[in-house]
Amino acid sequence: METLYNVSPPRRGRPPKSIAPVKEVDAATLSRYVNSEQASTVLGLKRQTLAKMRMTGKGPEFVKFGPRCVRYKFGDLIKWAESQRAPRAQ
């Protein structure tokens, strides 16, 4: 089974809480929407890097609910991260 992460919502004015591994993953977790800050925490990237990836058409799939409201499906983040694995050198 994959190791996924439970992301706590960020607190205003404070860094986001640490992420903890989730042992069992259900469909509700994979279909949950997270904001850019939470997505950057899951992927280990800066928010600005995700923004640049959106503008260039690279990176994980995202949904815009308005001009300034960008969300990512948690499952899409995991799929994208897995697709970025480099082959092992022999």
Residue percentage of the chain with pLDDT more than 90: 50
**37-81 residue pLDDT tens:** 999 998 999 999 999 999 999 999 999 999 989 999 999 999 999
What are the extents of the domains in the chain? 4-83
CATH code, residues 4-83: 1.10.10
Q: Give the residue among 69, 61, 55 at the shortest CA–CA distance from 31.
A: 61
Q: Which residues does 4 contact at the CB level (< 8 Å), separation at least 6?
A: 21, 22, 25, 29, 30, 74, 78
With H, G, I as helix, E, B as strand and everything else as coil, classify residue 20: strand
Residue 12 pLDDT: 58
pLDDT greater at residue 26 or residue 44? 44
pTM: 0.68
